[in-house]
Amino acid sequence: MKITKIETFKFWVDWCNWLFVRITADDGTVGWGEASLHGAIESVETAIQEFAPHLVGQDPAGPQAHWHRLYNAWRWRGGAVFMSALAALDIALWDLEGKRLGVPVHRLLGGAHRERLKVYASHWIRGTDEPENAFKAAQEAVRRGFGGFKCTPFTREGLSENESRALRRAVEVVAAAREGAGVDAEIFIECSELLSPRLTVMLDGLLAPYRPGWFEEPVPFENARAMAQLQRDIRTPIATGERLLSRYEYRELLESAGCRIIQPDLMHAGGLTEVRRIADMADTYYVSVAPHNPGGPICTMAAMQLAAAIPNFFILEQMEPQRAARDRASRPAVVFEDGHFLVPQTPGLGIEPDLEALKDFAFQPQPRNERRGALWR
């Protein structure tokens, strides 16, 4: 078997572009990967084209060997663009390998620890929601079967205008969400790097009665030592890591006990090959893994295959507002049952994207966002 072709496909879905990669072998077998980077998606596509000559004509067997060869293909390694391109190709090679051998990818990763994966509803309660809307949204998440959901109880504008009022409003929103969800549901607080350590400590005390499941990226990710000090200062677990791109970038965070949950993104942190190693490294520090899962159907299936195969899996993200588009583009659709995804047992990733179903989702450039960055106050 030899690789004959590598193709890319782009689709604008709701808030970003999905970028799919298809690797075709000479016997007609195909493997699918995804690198839906929020931002420089055309740069990622170009990087995939730069990688392609290193794969075309090669036997696709042995995804890990290909990963190392591609990672070292140039003197300049790493970065979001190249690691996302590498991730998409790696995922596609694992998919192709599973199909070639007739087994699901989780078998290739060592075997499944579980057949059902806990799922939470992401992008569910926004900072602009009124408490009564948060109450109803929490009820709806539970009604849909989710055991948890993500809540962003403040906005950049609100924090900039009046911190005390913004924090008070955050408490009102989370209190209403807790009342609507009941005592057993998890409420994960999305912070989006908007806080300083000082504000995070204040928020931790204010939200303690409502038992937040985590604070996600309360401060920017670059300073692992500052994140570790913050984790020592608060009771709520910190979840972080969606922007870390390799085990090398995770090393200081884990060594310094900078969080209790890591969130590697398979589309950006080098794919299944590298994220499996990140998860293994986290396991030595007794840190749980909640994969970041903001993409389309291929990203979701790859995350499911990994989650099934690692002992320290915690919960998987479901971009609930994009579920209809994802399921429309999936053959078959992800099976969601009683708050869990069911791990597919078919060869490869267990999915074939339906490109025809996405023909109306034409690519468009990512809109500019002038308001990124933390509030250093």
What pLDDT was estimated at residue 375? 47
The string of DSSP letters for 65-123 reads HHHHHHHTSSSS--SHHHHHHHHHHHHHHHHHHHHHHTSBHHHHTT--S-SEEEEEEEE
Domain of 164, in residue numbers: 107-349
For residue 371, is it within any domain? no
CA neighbor of 90 nearest in space, from 344, 273, 269: 273
| 83 shares its domain with 178 | no
Q: What distance in Å separates the CA atoms of residue 183 and residue 65, rounded to the nearest whole number? A: 47
Counting the structural domains of the chain, the total is 2
CA 355, distance to chain mean position in Å, is: 22
3-state secondary structure of 50: helix
Query: Max alpha carbon distance in the chain (Å)?
Result: 64
- Judged on CB neighbours under 10 Å (0-12, 13-18, 19+), 42 is middle
| 74 shares its domain with 181 | no
Name residues whose C-beta falls within 8 Å of residue 12's C-beta, 6 or more positions apart in sequence. Answer: 18, 361, 362, 363, 364
| 148 shares its domain with 294 | yes
pLDDT per residue of the chain (377 residues) written in tens, 0 to 9 = 999 999 999 999 888 899 999 999 999 999 999 999 888 899 999 999 999 999 999 999 999 999 999 999 887 888 999 999 999 999 999 999 999 999 999 999 999 999 999 999 998 998 777 999 999 999 999 999 999 999 999 999 999 999 999 999 999 999 999 999 999 999 999 999 999 999 999 999 999 999 999 999 999 999 999 999 999 999 999 999 999 999 999 999 999 999 999 999 999 999 999 999 999 999 999 999 999 999 999 999 999 999 999 999 999 999 988 888 899 999 999 999 999 999 999 999 999 999 999 999 888 888 876 555 444 44
Residue 93: CATH number of its domain: 3.30.390.10
| 145 shares its domain with 272 | yes
CA neighbor of 288 nearest in space, from 268, 307, 260: 260
| 233 shares its domain with 302 | yes
| 254 shares its domain with 123 | yes
| 72 shares its domain with 111 | no
What pLDDT was estimated at residue 129? 76
Q: What distance in Å separates the CA atoms of residue 214 and residue 188, rounded to the nearest whole number? A: 5
User: 335 with 341: CB under 8 angstroms?
Assistant: yes
What pLDDT was estimated at residue 296? 93
| 67 shares its domain with 122 | no
| 87 shares its domain with 52 | yes
The residue out of 104, 137, 165 marking a domain boundary is 104
How far CA 45 is from CA of 7, 24, 53, in Å, comes to 9, 17, 14
What pLDDT was estimated at residue 191? 97
Residue 276: CATH number of its domain: 3.20.20.120
| 287 shares its domain with 157 | yes
Start-to-end CA distance of the chain, whole Å, equals 58
What pLDDT was estimated at residue 377? 42
